[in-house]
Structure 1
Amino acid sequence: MSEAHTEQSAQQLATVRDRIDRGMDRRSFLRTLVSGGYALGMAAWLGVDDFLAADDGEVPVVTALVREDPDDPWSIRERTRTVPAEWYAAVESAFELNQRLASIAFTGYLGSAVVPGDHESGTATVSVGVSGDGHSVSELVGELAEGVDLNAETIIDVDEIQNGPEHREPKLADALPDGQVPSGVACETPSSMATLGPALYHPNGRRRFFVTAEHAFMDDHDATDGTLHLPRQAQETIELGTVAHYHPDEDVAAVEPTGRIEPTSRIETPRQPRVRGQFTKFGLADLVARDAELEKVGALTGHTTGKIQGVDAVTCFTEDFCRRGQIRWGGEMDLTDGDSGSVSYYPDPEGEDEDVLIAGFNNARTWWPGQSYVWGVGAYRLTEQHGYHF
């Protein structure tokens, strides 16, 4: 396909998408496809097959990847639910604008995030953080916005780290039933302490890993073969394994078990929730629309809850590169040093009482005035980029 033809097709797709956005009914939509000369295969570009499968005014979206068998991590399947077509269109447009902003990365750009409105509003906003004088942001990106609401915020004193919560004793895993260690307890690298996440799976060879934050190995220029240990109260520290894969952009280290202890899909709280799967990007957007709160268990701050403040976020605060596919949730007091590596999660709405779905992986918190949230990579991003799932 020639470059000119590709561009023309993209323009046609945009035109059809706009007409879907305005609430076109199914019969009119089919006429538009025929008159535009579209092949049936083009439906995949628009999600048209989903559009045609739903009642007028609603579209089904994939909201989660969930195990059919709770005890079989390889029985993962897609779960869908219907959402208002107008809301879907607004959120999709906001996702597209957010990615364009990240690609342009104009001077002063520190990050952005999509904030879906509730389902009835049919809206979504892109929140943009800029350094210094941010009054010209609307002028810079106004033409790109194409009707998407834009909220620009000036962020100052990013380098001024504020004090975190008071010192707390870490949660240690003293009991290891069936030779497995749950998420939410302290783990140690050669240079620091972090929180152990729930078992991370990869379909290549059906491998399972321990997981924690890559920055916990910060003293090593290359985290490969770095060791991860499990500290215990008045008992000998146990070696869990060595780093098999590390992903600096996502701040994730996958650790291959090398001893008698295995990773598990349980989280260390009194009710011992069981990880049944994970949310997709649109699943997280749906949670925002329903004003849902995420939970987390960190080795230092323990169990906390908080609302989602932004999805598919881009953060450019701490490195000379930007992290994509992030979640912003809760407040800065929900995370402190030693909590990195924990996960945010939400009860599985269709599972058993103990089942939860993973939203994302907690890496850091805000430390500058005017904003307060935890950020970390979404589980969907790990799947898209590296094939992992929880």
Structure 2
Amino acid sequence: MKAIVVGYGRGEVSGAGDQVSFLAYEFKKLLSASPVTSRGLPQFGTGVLLNRMQELGLLSTKNFREGAPPQSRRVSGEAVASELLKRKRACYLCPIACGRETRFGEGPEYETLWSLGVNLSIFDIEQVAELNRLCNGYGLDTISTGGVLGMACELSEKGKLPFRLAYGDVATMKELIVEIAEKRSRGELLAMGTKALGERVGMPEAAIHVKGLELPAYDPRGAYGQGLGYATSNRGGCHLPGYLIGLEALAIPKLVDRLGIDGKASLLALNQNVTAFVDSLIVCRFAAFAIPGDFYSRIASAVMGERITWEESITIGERIWNLERLYNLRQGITEDTLPERFSNVPLAGMLKEYYEIRGWDSSGVPGPDKLKLLELSTGQDGI
């Protein structure tokens, strides 16, 4: 399949323009009132999160084997602003302008500052920016690239690789990024990704992934709800669906005990439904730091010309989430778990409660009553 084309009529929704204009006005007011979207992100970019995560113990180094040291500040958003920044960059008409254009091109962003910096024990902001430039040039995801390089350093320490690689060895890592992208020499092995690499060398415990996707910069041992989010994410070890870091670390919209488990399953399921709905509108995720969820229902109502309640929005998101789940199950992707390294995260109890809240069976399969409620059905192919 090459593409999906959606056709629509030429008629306009009566009064939609005025409604959308008014909502845009309110949207900007809310962004201006939030310290995150009016000051933090515009001034320091997404890297503004790094120092806060390090202070909370949510930032790790050396393939999640140690906590991030104080020198992590050398590769923070503040360091990008003071040492690298040429100009801010914004998506079309966005007042936040969280993008950074530096002497090394676009970025680095928060996840990259961690994955190619702190994670690899590289605390020279210019070297991190150069590694980011190489990844951008080759179209490599910086989280996955940093994840496999961090794992490779650990494997090298234990004699599991046919070459040497040490944390902080910037010169060799530059070479490896090129070799990974071109799938040649040493890079051919690393290009497999952490999951396949761990299986190949007989050290799956060193592969920090969920469902084959490398984990980002939030250590789940310091935020249990985020750990449950990784485990249950339909696309694997991704921080975005649900994003309980907002509640557990940033007090957005309120602060909850990040090492508690009570209520985390219900909070996560709700947030996953909301983010699934919001993502379907193709709007920036960073705006959610300032914009309440029900506001997006008003946006959808204005654009579509029919009233969509907040409850209906959540149901739409839940339908999307369950449909993705059914697809995964059809493809044989069934495990909701965390890497062995995070065994101290009390996942089992939260996962059981999560399945119950979702209306799924004990194996995480959506039940017939839930599918009927969401107007979904399964055919011979499982969807």
Structure-2-length-normalised TM-score = 0.22
Query: Larger % of helix: which?
Result: 2
